[in-house]
Amino acid sequence: MLEMKNAIFVFILIFEFAYGCSQQTTNEQQTSMNFRKLTPEEERVIVQKGTERPFTGKYNDFYEEGIYECKRCGAPLYQSADKFKSGCGWPSFDDEIPGAVKRLPDADGRRTEIVCSNCGAHLGHVFTGEGFTPKNTRHCVNSVSLEFARAELHDKNKTSDTAVFAGGCFWGVEYYMQQEPGVISTEVGYIGGHKENPTYKEVCSHTTGHAEAIRIVFDPSKTSYEKLARLFFEIHDPTEVNRQGPDIGDQYRSEIFYLDIRQLLTAQKLIGLLKDKGYKVATKVTPAGTFWPAEDYHQDYYRNNGHKPYCHVYTKRF
């Protein structure tokens, strides 16, 4: 009997230790995500899965151009172009930014809850078959779950702008971008990973998470971000996952790293056009982080050796 009591006591200690570590890990994860501070009402809706009263939310009758972000973590969720007036009393959208919203069975067993894919914040519910728009979908979202960011207008006085694309081997992407009128300069490097100042060897080891990418500085009076983004989609295969031709690996993934809301809207618009044409686009759209320039011998590679790309071919898609 004494041995059994001792065994139970040890089990309880192990359980409490494991639970405590689990709670600590959860708290650390929440802190590391740098959630925005919420008001009691926002907490009630976003965390406790409540609902704001209909026709009271600030975004119910609001139609400016921009992006709707998660109130808690700031992740982009919806584009203003997908917002419509449903008369239901809450902001309504017929589509979300791809991958931004997760669907879950609601606790009531009847509806489908929608939450932020990034942090799990409660947004509202999604309904289909109502016929409000051709997409036949309505994301019914609480205003307090959202934060609106206006689309930046083009600055006519701006003499240069920057774009960052990843589409396979950066030598080939740079080759085509350098030929585009209006491009001032190009630089190849690494972005989207977790290690500071990675080397080419480290990126190729698939341990840093970086993509081979190109940073382009261009003259907005001679070309546009959209024109460069269209070219990006036509000089590599955006349906490939973690590869381009014979080059295989996560560093060769297709990804657009946007620098502002205007670039995000443009990227999503072009992806939508390609999907309408039947392309199964695998291109990710991600906020730009730190861009680490690649080693000198990678810069202007084809211009310096006189060859042409072996894994990039121009294909008209628009």
pLDDT value of residue 1: 46
**Same domain, residue pair 46 and 176:** no
- Quick check: is 44 in a domain? yes
**Same domain, residue pair 253 and 274:** yes
Cβ contact 121:75 at 8 Å:
no
**Same domain, residue pair 142 and 166:** no
**Same domain, residue pair 141 and 237:** no
The residue from 150, 185, 217 where one domain ends is 150
**Same domain, residue pair 192 and 101:** no
User: Which CATH number covers residue 167?
Assistant: 3.30.1060.10
Q: What pLDDT, in 10s, does the model give residues 123-152?
A: 999 999 999 999 999 999 999 999 998 876
Q: Count of domains in the chain?
A: 2
- Quick check: is 312 in a domain? no
Of 21, 70, 119, 140, which one is the catalytic site residue?
140
Q: How confident is the model at residue 5 (pLDDT cuts 50, 70, 90)?
A: very low
DSSP 8-class letter at 195: S
**Same domain, residue pair 105 and 232:** no
Q: How confident is the model at residue 98 (pLDDT cuts 50, 70, 90)?
A: confident
Lowest mean pLDDT among 28-32, 114-118, 213-217: 28-32
**Same domain, residue pair 113 and 174:** no
Q: Supply the angle between the helices 170-178 and 225-234 in degrees, to the nearest 10.
A: 130
pLDDT above 90 (res 46): yes
In this structure, the strands spanning 183-191 and 76-79 are unpaired
- Quick check: is 246 in a domain? yes
- Quick check: is 318 in a domain? no
pLDDT above 70 (res 31): no
- Quick check: is 12 in a domain? no
169 assigned to active site: yes
Where does the chain have alpha helices with state H?
2-32, 40-46, 170-178, 200-204, 225-234, 261-276, 301-305
**Same domain, residue pair 171 and 286:** yes
**Same domain, residue pair 260 and 233:** yes
User: Which CATH number covers residue 49?
Assistant: 2.170.150.20
- Sign, CA dihedral 115-120-123-125, equals positive
Q: What pLDDT, in 10s, does the model give residues 271-316?
A: 999 999 999 999 999 889 999 999 999 999 999 998 889 889 999 9
- Quick check: is 9 in a domain? no
pLDDT value of residue 227: 98
For the chain, give the mean pLDDT: 88
Of 70, 88, 119, 169, which one is the catalytic site residue?
169
pLDDT above 90 (res 192): yes
**Same domain, residue pair 69 and 145:** yes
**Same domain, residue pair 226 and 138:** no
**Same domain, residue pair 202 and 300:** yes
140 assigned to active site: yes
Widest CA span of the chain, in angstroms?
Answer: 86
The residue from 150, 180, 199 where one domain ends is 150
- Quick check: is 4 in a domain? no
Range of the domain at 70: 40-150
pLDDT above 50 (res 23): no
Exposed, middle or buried: residue 196 (CB in 10 Å: 0-12, 13-18, 19+)? Answer: exposed
pLDDT above 60 (res 67): yes
The residue from 106, 123, 150 where one domain ends is 150
